Structure 1
Amino acid sequence: MRVKNSAEGQSGIHLDIPQLQDKNEIILSPTTIFEPRTSAGRRDGSSGNSVSPTLHSVPAPEKKLTLFALRLAILEKAATGVGALGFIWATVVLLGGFAITLDKTDFWFITIILLIEGARIFSRSHELEWQHQSTSSIAHAGISSFRKLRSSSRALVESVKDMLSPVSSGTRKQSQHRTGVSEITDATNVREQKLHRKPTWKWTSSEVPILPYGGWVFLSRNISKIFYLLQLLSAIACVVLSLMKLIKHNYGQVAKGGTDSRNQKTALIIFYALALAEALVFLTEKVYWQWKVVICKLLEGVNQECNLGALGMISTRRFFYDSYARCINGSIFDGLGMDMVTFAMDLICSNSPDEQLIGARILHRFSFTKMFSDDTLQKIGTTLPVIERLVEILNWEDPQEEEIRLSAAKIVSKLAGKKQNSLRVTGIPGAMESISSLLQTNRSPSSTADEIGEKKIFDHEAYGYWTFNSLGLLILKELARDHDNCGKIGKTRGLLSKIIDFTHADETILKDSTVATLQVLTVERSLKVIKMLATTAGTTGKILRREISGRVFTVSNIRDILRYGEKRPKLQKRGIGILTSLAQDDDATDRIGGTDRWRVPKDQKDVRIVAGEALAKLAFGSKSNCHRILKLNVVERLIEALEIPLLHVNAGRILRNLCTYSGPESFNQLKGVTAAAPTVLKAILSGEGKLQEVMVGLAAHAFKFMTAGESTAVFESAGFKETKLACALVEILRSYRYPDIKVPRMRRFAIELAIWMMRDKLKNVQIFRDLGMEEELEGVLDTTSELESFNIFSGSIGLRRHSTTIHSLVETALMLLKDRFDQPIGH
């Protein structure tokens, strides 16, 4: 379809309909504005409330960690309990009751055992804190600590963390290997955040300069190793000392033969046994820890099953330490109540940027992993504080928080795909403004994704804006599936203008189909959002269409896409769809028909379908647009298109509208439409559904250009008789005793054609009488619906009411049947 300027400087619409090689190809036309759509209808062939098939319950991978934490806590609390009993026994019974009578060797053995056990218990009580602290700064522990060590005070704390954590030390080499592969990707995601840091008001654990000189880093690393080794050595020493006394039974000669010797010996045996038991339980815990973490690689396995990636190890360790801490500090069963999603939701609602990043990464991964997606989105959707935090994060524009914002935007886009969740998102005060903040326009629209890819490591702005723009439009597209959300989008200040701005695409990008750019994706999504807004039903839709068509860049941007986008058929199709929807308003119809011009390539079938629908809509009720089409002498090509399965429906609609709304001054130009009579009659008699409805409607108006003699000649040349056509019309009324939502104008068009036949020849009146036409017409009067009063629909709402009601048509047909019945029947 193309529009070119005439000699007088006026523009017109040029329809280019080439012949198809396969005329037998049958393509079903989708639901259009010419048919109503029920509230249960789907906009995009999918519903936000679609129910996924029931899947068998699969244990969450993190349950392995919570069970591991439970078992460790049992061993740890058992060792602590036995140690506490031994400490009490030594201080109360031995050193208190037998301190004077104890042998010197036993006294020092007991003292040394108490000291080393006290040191071990003290170091153990703080070990969990250091382990937890090692995962508190993901920006450094997850990325920077895997790079070469820097001589700075910040490296000190990170070094101590790694040395005190057996999990960290056991997985450090593997993490280094993984990071070597993903370091470039990580650098892309984090960018050079440290180059533009804002002043902060409080210290983070990774930045505290514990020692004044960076040169102490390596010494502190060695000291941390010694501390960890001393904890193991103290337990081993306790085992050795206890076994020495228990095996040798060398408890001294004090009070030999006295009455207290037996009790003293028994008390010493009990103490050494308790010390040995505590040390053995502790070592058993360590062996079990090393076996599961280092040998079996439990953390790596769970991280892989959770699909958290290389950077997810820091999150997995943090989850395990939190679960272990709950088991140690409270009941041993407290950690079993943790799951990765709830853990991540707690972190993302915290005030620590590092914890927010950990939570955002976990929620993002789980939301987009097929196995966990439904459960994750359900948990997020039913936790309003988390939704509010995610929406709040969309406003963040600090480059240091880009990854958090990016993850939040992706999660919200996934969340908005479910209808209930989308309503919860838009129900948050300021939610639409937060989404609007993603649509930044202060960047060059001519930058392609390839150019962005070359600059993104050095220029933070170039990458971020296009990505957030695309995500913002994706969120709006998902939200626009709901009618109420469409109204909120239209009412949000400046949002509609931003969306329309993104429909602009440069000619060079449109003509180059080999380059897939972020800008093309952004244009496609913006067109999709505009299309969904323009097709909104009811008063809201009317207001939105007025707002959209009132923007000066709407039609011009779409015109550029139609003019230069032959290699971008998806963009053209959506642009045409927008124009078709906007043309539901009279002012927009004339404006679009007078300015837009484009050509549809032969091989783009979908585009040709929507282009034909757009032309039919532009010609409907617009005398000026009908004249523009007729000036291009396209009647013959439209008649040819009636035989092409791809185009026959819309070609019939265009011809009918031309015959109906062009006015008497166009009689000579439309006279040639009678040549389509054989094709139209064949379709009426053999067609069904939408095609039959369109052809009956075309015949009712196109046959008016024939005289009685010409109609007789046409029927004879086509091999049809009026009786056969009359039977088909009566059968249509008999088949459609009630209005059909798929063909709402079928009965109206059949009555209009019957009226023409009875006015054309008196003998047709007798034919209809014999076929029972009067009875069928009276049945129509009893079953008339508002559905038949409109020609254009916006959803389930009729927009363009027919000038003649179906009751008037029925009364006219009945009058012809009765008034002419007694008159002499002519030829």
Structure 2
Amino acid sequence: MYDASPKEADGSVHLQISEMKRLSDAYSQSTTIFEPENNSSNGYRGSSAEPPAVDHSVPAPEKKLTLFALRLAILEKAATGLGTLGFIWATVVLLGGFAITLAKSDFWIITIILLTEGTRIFSRSHELEWQRQSTWSLTGAGINSFRLLKLGSNKIWTALNSVFRGRSQDGRQINASRGERQQKWDKRRLPTRRWATSDVPLLPYFSWLFLSRNISKILQCLQILAAAACVALSLMKLILRNFGEIAKGDTDKRNRKDALMIFYSLALAEASLFLLEKIYWELTVTCSKILEQVNEECEFGPSGMISVRRFFYDAYSRCVDGSVFDGLKMDMVSFSMELLASNSPEEQLMGARILRSFAGNKRFSDDTLQKIGITSSAVERLVEMLNWKDCEEEEIRQSAAEILSKLAGEKQNSLRVAGIPGALESISSLLYVSKTSNSALDEVGEKCIIADHEHYGFWTFNHLGLLLLKKLARDHDNCGKIGNTRGLLPKIIDFTCAKERLLKDDHVAASQIQTIKRSLQVIKMLASTTGSTGKQLRKEISEIVFTFNNIRDILRHGEKYPDLQKLGIEILTSLAMEDDATERIGGTGGILKELLIIFFKDGMPISQVHVRTAAGEALVMLALESKQNCNCILKLGALEKLVKALEIPLVRLNAARILRNLCTYSLDDCFLELRGVSAAVPSVLKGILSEEDKLREVMVGLAARAFKFMTYSESSIMFEQAGIKETEIANVLVQILKKHTYPPPRFPRIRRFTIELAIWMMKNKESNVGVFRNLGLEKELENVLDTTSELESFNIFSGTVGLNRFKTSMQSLVDTAQNLLSND
């Protein structure tokens, strides 16, 4: 027998009468399986309500960079244009026409200016290319930053050393101690047949100076020196104007001075504009720290500086190479999606970090997720990344999972994600269930390259995988796809396993409990799916042999986790919609007993009473049309406690429903035991006289069944003990039919139960026929025939779909009542 005695120990919480009434009213107003649900009640965020307003007053932070790149490009193109004009002027006019007549100093100064400025102008695009490549100087170490954060400072130094180990002369990485380093999970994997562009030694000697990451700095310094020299030489010549004497009558030299003045002016203007550009660059980047500001506004963190710098160089390069307005068309989200599609691990990581940061930022998430959602290639790429099981790609994989979990929060995007071929198989690859108790796991799906998996974030990926499934399961069609994905349902149910040691451990990791909770939430959503899809899912879930055992353990040992118990109970309630599942649940030893213990538990804190209510609903479902379960409940001695529970506002509705099912579906040999239900008559009659319609519905329904276990004399005694006359009850029943001209969705069976009780009263006592006739029951019955709907034909509902149709139709009940009224 179960132990459901109230706790008398100090510290137990007892609900006051007023508080219990308030909670009872709250639960009586909540939607349950005993009434149809509106489609909007299960809607997506933003699907039935207006979409949240996006704050357009805050511009994208990267606009500062694109505007800065535009201004720099204007200066750069202006300087380049003047330089080109000066170059043409010098080559065509001066050196071409006056080379012989020029003074020696002018000739060499012009030559130097043309060589330096011409080289600078025509190599500018190459210098930008080196600048872009220089942004990879930190990403080599940054790709492992996710994992390095998990290590102590001593392992960080080891990891950095592994990045900068020596390489062989033919460009292939040397592995000096291969046998030892294979055991190190933190070694960096680099491509074996191609170089990282930031680490290419251009010369065999002084390679540290001629690494590609340093070339941009060298070119930049040379260009500044060239421009400064050009300014100095041009200014000197314009001030001195020592262009040589022109003899009278020498027509070949009469325009030489003007030509030289024009050239030196063009050279001075061109070099000055270039230096102005560099000064503006330094003031904005170094002094105003625009890159740091944008990085802070984007909330990228320390590693985001590389992303911001790379974005700026790309925008500036587009402005210089094409139209000056090309850079304005760039934004950080599109830029990151382009990086995501790259074949470079560094670029993939950078793009994933940007999208993850923006997707999780309240200011940018709506715009970011919208752009990702309408870009099918980006969604497909993110789904593909879920399958990357290489430990070196752990952060990329996690970022992709986090972005998709945000994306799946909207119904339209959820359909896009689930519609990608193999998407659910990819999500399934995130889930890993350890078959051993050892914390050092041995595999992750397919075998990982790294032998030691101690630092791989299995729990993180489990959480993200379950979160993704939870969001996808909001849609009916996605639920069917989840059920059809091979091996996914058993894997989800494996996560619901929680033994006694885990549930009672005071030091259990919160992540483990969170994993169990999310898996239960996914199973609950799948089990509560409507229509033929839901029927098939409930069948598949109930056929997995571990489902009910895992839930039983949670009910038995999960006192510290009421949310887990509630989820487990709700799963049982949904699965009990299928007859086969109902028998399986009842046949699993201990489930009914644990549900009764929870339902009758007194002194439960206010925050946990919802578990008690859920247990009552589960018992109602399990007792519905199941003789086996009804017999088991009676054998557990629950009848007397159910009768007493009718006095407790919080649980009386479900207690009455359970008693009605026991009276209706129990085995014939339980007749004598069920006669004890007569003790509930006073509470039932009081409930019928109450003003609360839902309470009236369940109490009238119980009365129509409970009175059948009493003789006429016994029922009369019960009415006398309750101080209520049968005429009062008859009047209430007629008033119920008058009040509810049409079947109400909140209590759809109230007219059916009312007619059933009226039939019993007229059969039990002939004088009641005249009472009902005088009260106008016959007219109300005719109105019932005119307004009967399908809503009144079902015991329970799955959404708007009716389940468990009553065997006796409303037409048949009304005919029986009318025959009794017409019988003299």
TM-score by length of 1: 0.88
2:83–2:118 contact (8 Å) kept in structure 1: no
The match for 1:402 is 394
- Per-residue CA deviations over 1:226-280 (Å, capped at 9, x if unaligned) read 5432321221111111111111111112546633444100000000000100011
Q: Are the structure 2 counterparts of residues 389 and 685 from structure 1 closer, same or farther at C-alpha, using a change threshold of 3 Å? A: same
Q: Are the structure 2 counterparts of residues 102 and 406 from structure 1 closer, same or farther at C-alpha, using a change threshold of 3 Å? A: same
How far, CA to CA, are the matches of 1:642 and 1:36 in structure 2? Answer: 25
How far, CA to CA, are the matches of 1:152 and 1:209 in structure 2? Answer: 16
- Per-residue CA deviations over 1:399-450 (Å, capped at 9, x if unaligned) read 111111111111111111111111111111111111111112246457599x
Q: Are the structure 2 counterparts of residues 155 and 224 from structure 1 closer, same or farther at C-alpha, using a change threshold of 3 Å? A: farther
How far, CA to CA, are the matches of 2:334 and 2:291 in structure 1? Answer: 19
1:154–1:207 contact (8 Å) kept in structure 2: no
How far, CA to CA, are the matches of 2:324 and 2:306 in structure 1? Answer: 24
1:505–1:561 contact (8 Å) kept in structure 2: yes
Counterpart amino acid of 1:295? C
How far, CA to CA, are the matches of 1:384 and 1:647 in structure 2? Answer: 51
How far, CA to CA, are the matches of 1:693 and 1:514 in structure 2? Answer: 47
Q: Are the structure 2 counterparts of residues 405 and 137 from structure 1 closer, same or farther at C-alpha, using a change threshold of 3 Å? A: farther
Counterpart amino acid of 2:560? K
- Per-residue CA deviations over 1:110-136 (Å, capped at 9, x if unaligned) read 111112212332453322111111224
Q: Are the structure 2 counterparts of residues 693 and 446 from structure 1 closer, same or farther at C-alpha, using a change threshold of 3 Å? A: farther
How far, CA to CA, are the matches of 1:143 and 1:534 in structure 2? Answer: 41
1:349–1:386 contact (8 Å) kept in structure 2: yes
Q: Are the structure 2 counterparts of residues 246 and 62 from structure 1 closer, same or farther at C-alpha, using a change threshold of 3 Å? A: same
Q: Are the structure 2 counterparts of residues 203 and 518 from structure 1 closer, same or farther at C-alpha, using a change threshold of 3 Å? A: same
1:134–1:141 contact (8 Å) kept in structure 2: no
Q: CA deviation at 1:491?
A: 0.8
1:23–1:643 contact (8 Å) kept in structure 2: no
Q: CA deviation at 1:39?
A: 2.8
How far, CA to CA, are the matches of 1:462 and 1:815 in structure 2? Answer: 78
Task: Give secondary structure in 2 for the equivalent of 1:217.
Answer: coil
The match for 1:741 is 745
How far, CA to CA, are the matches of 1:637 and 1:481 in structure 2? Answer: 38
2:493–2:523 contact (8 Å) kept in structure 1: yes
1:739–1:787 contact (8 Å) kept in structure 2: yes
Q: 2:406 aligns with which of 404, 410, 414?
A: 414
Q: CA deviation at 1:554?
A: 0.7
The match for 1:543 is 536
Q: CA deviation at 1:88?
A: 0.6
Q: Are the structure 2 counterparts of residues 362 and 811 from structure 1 closer, same or farther at C-alpha, using a change threshold of 3 Å? A: same
How far, CA to CA, are the matches of 2:723 and 2:478 in structure 1? Answer: 56
How far, CA to CA, are the matches of 1:144 and 1:92 in structure 2? Answer: 56
The match for 1:217 is 208
Q: Are the structure 2 counterparts of residues 536 and 144 from structure 1 closer, same or farther at C-alpha, using a change threshold of 3 Å? A: closer
The match for 2:633 is 629
- Per-residue CA deviations over 1:11-70 (Å, capped at 9, x if unaligned) read xxx766779532332222232222222333317x95666543323413111111111111
1:276-425 equivalences in 2 (<5 Å): 276-425=268-417
How far, CA to CA, are the matches of 1:645 and 1:446 in structure 2? Answer: 49
- Per-residue CA deviations over 1:373-398 (Å, capped at 9, x if unaligned) read 11111111111111111111111111
1:170-181 equivalences in 2 (<5 Å): none
Q: Are the structure 2 counterparts of residues 99 and 202 from structure 1 closer, same or farther at C-alpha, using a change threshold of 3 Å? A: same
How far, CA to CA, are the matches of 1:758 and 1:59 in structure 2? Answer: 76
The match for 2:501 is 508
Q: Is 2:108 the counterpart of 1:115? A: no
How far, CA to CA, are the matches of 1:792 and 1:477 in structure 2? Answer: 25
How far, CA to CA, are the matches of 2:217 and 2:674 in structure 1? Answer: 96
- Per-residue CA deviations over 1:564-587 (Å, capped at 9, x if unaligned) read 111111111111111111112222
Q: Are the structure 2 counterparts of residues 194 and 201 from structure 1 closer, same or farther at C-alpha, using a change threshold of 3 Å? A: farther
How far, CA to CA, are the matches of 2:278 and 2:749 in structure 1? Answer: 81
1:153–1:209 contact (8 Å) kept in structure 2: no
How far, CA to CA, are the matches of 1:611 and 1:731 in structure 2? Answer: 33
The match for 1:655 is 659
- Superposition CA RMSD, Å: 2.8
How far, CA to CA, are the matches of 1:543 and 1:31 in structure 2? Answer: 24
Q: CA deviation at 1:224?
A: 6.6
Q: CA deviation at 1:291?
A: 1.1
Which stretch shifts more, 680-689 or 499-508? 680-689
Q: Are the structure 2 counterparts of residues 789 and 54 from structure 1 closer, same or farther at C-alpha, using a change threshold of 3 Å? A: same
Counterpart amino acid of 1:495? L
Q: 2:814 aligns with which of 810, 816, 819?
A: 810
Q: 2:579 aligns with which of 578, 586, 599?
A: 586
Q: Are the structure 2 counterparts of residues 528 and 16 from structure 1 closer, same or farther at C-alpha, using a change threshold of 3 Å? A: farther
Q: Are the structure 2 counterparts of residues 121 and 193 from structure 1 closer, same or farther at C-alpha, using a change threshold of 3 Å? A: farther
2:480–2:533 contact (8 Å) kept in structure 1: yes
Q: Are the structure 2 counterparts of residues 222 and 405 from structure 1 closer, same or farther at C-alpha, using a change threshold of 3 Å? A: closer
Counterpart amino acid of 2:208? V
1:82–1:274 contact (8 Å) kept in structure 2: yes
- Per-residue CA deviations over 1:682-729 (Å, capped at 9, x if unaligned) read 222224232221111111111222332332332233222222212211
How far, CA to CA, are the matches of 1:224 and 1:341 in structure 2? Answer: 27
- Per-residue CA deviations over 1:554-611 (Å, capped at 9, x if unaligned) read 1111111111111111111111111111112222212212322424353331111111
Q: CA deviation at 1:222?
A: 8.3
- Per-residue CA deviations over 1:438-486 (Å, capped at 9, x if unaligned) read 112246457599xx9xxxx995455422211111111111111111111
Q: 1:750 aligns with which of 748, 751, 754?
A: 754
Task: Give secondary structure in 2 for the equivalent of 1:800.
Answer: strand
The match for 1:9 is none
The match for 1:171 is none
How far, CA to CA, are the matches of 2:47 and 2:417 in structure 1? Answer: 14
Structure 1 residue runs of 5 or longer lacking an equivalent are 5-13, 157-190, 823-827
The match for 1:185 is none
Q: CA deviation at 1:507?
A: 2.2
Q: Are the structure 2 counterparts of residues 691 and 462 from structure 1 closer, same or farther at C-alpha, using a change threshold of 3 Å? A: farther
The match for 2:650 is 646
Counterpart amino acid of 2:73? A
The match for 2:467 is 474
How far, CA to CA, are the matches of 1:817 and 1:17 in structure 2? Answer: 48
Q: Are the structure 2 counterparts of residues 478 and 297 from structure 1 closer, same or farther at C-alpha, using a change threshold of 3 Å? A: same
Counterpart amino acid of 1:468? F
2:40–2:48 contact (8 Å) kept in structure 1: no
The match for 1:21 is 15
Q: 1:441 aligns with which of 422, 430, 433?
A: 433
1:299–1:317 contact (8 Å) kept in structure 2: yes
Q: Are the structure 2 counterparts of residues 560 and 706 from structure 1 closer, same or farther at C-alpha, using a change threshold of 3 Å? A: same
Q: CA deviation at 1:526?
A: 0.9
Q: Are the structure 2 counterparts of residues 479 and 685 from structure 1 closer, same or farther at C-alpha, using a change threshold of 3 Å? A: same
Identity over the aligned pairs, expressed in percent? 63
The match for 2:800 is 796
Q: 1:720 aligns with which of 718, 724, 737?
A: 724
Counterpart amino acid of 1:380? I
How far, CA to CA, are the matches of 2:310 and 2:218 in structure 1? Answer: 24
How far, CA to CA, are the matches of 2:249 and 2:144 in structure 1? Answer: 69
2:202–2:210 contact (8 Å) kept in structure 1: no
2:570–2:614 contact (8 Å) kept in structure 1: yes
How far, CA to CA, are the matches of 2:62 and 2:190 in structure 1? Answer: 36
- Per-residue CA deviations over 1:302-340 (Å, capped at 9, x if unaligned) read 111112111111111111111111111110011111111
Q: Are the structure 2 counterparts of residues 438 and 70 from structure 1 closer, same or farther at C-alpha, using a change threshold of 3 Å? A: same
How far, CA to CA, are the matches of 1:533 and 1:48 in structure 2? Answer: 20
1:469–1:522 contact (8 Å) kept in structure 2: yes
Task: Give secondary structure in 2 for the equivalent of 1:791.
Answer: strand
Counterpart amino acid of 2:408? A
How far, CA to CA, are the matches of 1:610 and 1:152 in structure 2? Answer: 56
How far, CA to CA, are the matches of 1:516 and 1:389 in structure 2? Answer: 33
Task: Give secondary structure in 2 for the equivalent of 1:309.
Answer: coil
How far, CA to CA, are the matches of 2:472 and 2:162 in structure 1? Answer: 50
Q: CA deviation at 1:369?
A: 0.6
Q: CA deviation at 1:151?
A: 11
Q: CA deviation at 1:748?
A: 0.7
Q: Are the structure 2 counterparts of residues 431 and 625 from structure 1 closer, same or farther at C-alpha, using a change threshold of 3 Å? A: same
Q: Are the structure 2 counterparts of residues 248 and 150 from structure 1 closer, same or farther at C-alpha, using a change threshold of 3 Å? A: farther
How far, CA to CA, are the matches of 1:279 and 1:257 in structure 2? Answer: 36
